[in-house]
């Protein structure tokens, strides 16, 4: 196997699920996330297949590309209201039907709050709290300073709490 094919195969196998989950949480739609994941990897491999990137740098670039693809997609559909899809299939623990429905409802209401955030705040929040990345990694993915990444996460968290209280999600 050539070096390029080995690189493509290794990076895709290692990160496809992680990028898909990020895109699902960002876009809330299985089909959209699938299409954007494919676009993300195609763009990445077209541009970087002959580079000497390590896996960590590759992941950062994949996050950046997937974020940009999501923003571009949402800008194209800015006049359409997108439906919120539950991420039920990604939950590990088993709950009763009633608890599951309550969690699903709360998740949808929280995602509706998340959609109201500015793009940069939403991205920073998802990368920090859902993907559990460090501020340094977020700053590299978003091409901003570490302090700006920190401010975006704090603002997003504060705004989400405020919106959740307004919508009766939190007391």
Domain ranges for the chain = 1-78, 96-166
Task: At 70, list the tokens.
Answer: 């999501």
User: Phi-psi region for residue 132, left (φ > 0), alpha (ψ -120 to 50) or beta?
Assistant: left
- Summarised one tens digit per residue, pLDDT across range 112-153 is 888 899 999 999 999 998 888 999 999 999 999 999 999 999
Whether 87 has a pLDDT exceeding 70, the answer reads: no
Among the four given CATH numbers 3.30.420.480, 3.10.180.10, 3.40.50.300, 1.10.10.10, the one describing domain 96-166? 1.10.10.10
Query: Residue 59: enclosing H or E segment and its boundaries?
Result: helix 55-76
| Mean of pLDDT values over 72-78 | 82
Whether 9 has a pLDDT exceeding 50, the answer reads: yes
- Summarised one tens digit per residue, pLDDT across range 57-71 is 999 999 999 999 998
| Mean of pLDDT values over 101-112 | 80
pLDDT of residue 145: 93
The overall average pLDDT reported for the chain is: 84
| Mean of pLDDT values over 83-95 | 47
- The pTM (predicted TM-score) of the whole model is 0.64
| Mean of pLDDT values over 53-82 | 83
> Which residue shows structure tokens 């991205």?
123
């Amino acid at each position: 196997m050539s070096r390029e094919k080995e690189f493509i195969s290794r990076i895709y196998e290692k990160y496809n699920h992680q990028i898909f989950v990020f895109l699902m949480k960002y876009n809330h739609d299985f089909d959209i996330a699938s299409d954007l994941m494919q676009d993300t990897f195609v763009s990445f491999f077209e541009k970087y297949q002959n580079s000497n990137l390590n896996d960590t740098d590759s992941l950062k670039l994949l996050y950046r590309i997937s974020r940009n693809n999501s923003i571009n997609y949402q800008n194209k559909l800015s006049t359409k209201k997108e439906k919120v899809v539950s991420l039920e299939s990604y939950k590990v623990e088993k709950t009763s039907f009633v608890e599951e429905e309550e969690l699903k409802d709360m998740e949808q209401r929280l995602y509706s709050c998340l959609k109201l955030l500015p793009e940069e705040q939403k991205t920073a929040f998802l990368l920090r709290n859902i993907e559990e990345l460090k501020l340094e990694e977020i700053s590299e993915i978003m091409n901003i300073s570490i302090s700006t990444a920190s401010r975006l996460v704090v603002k997003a968290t504060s705004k989400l709490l405020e919106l959740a209280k307004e919508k009766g999600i939190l007391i």
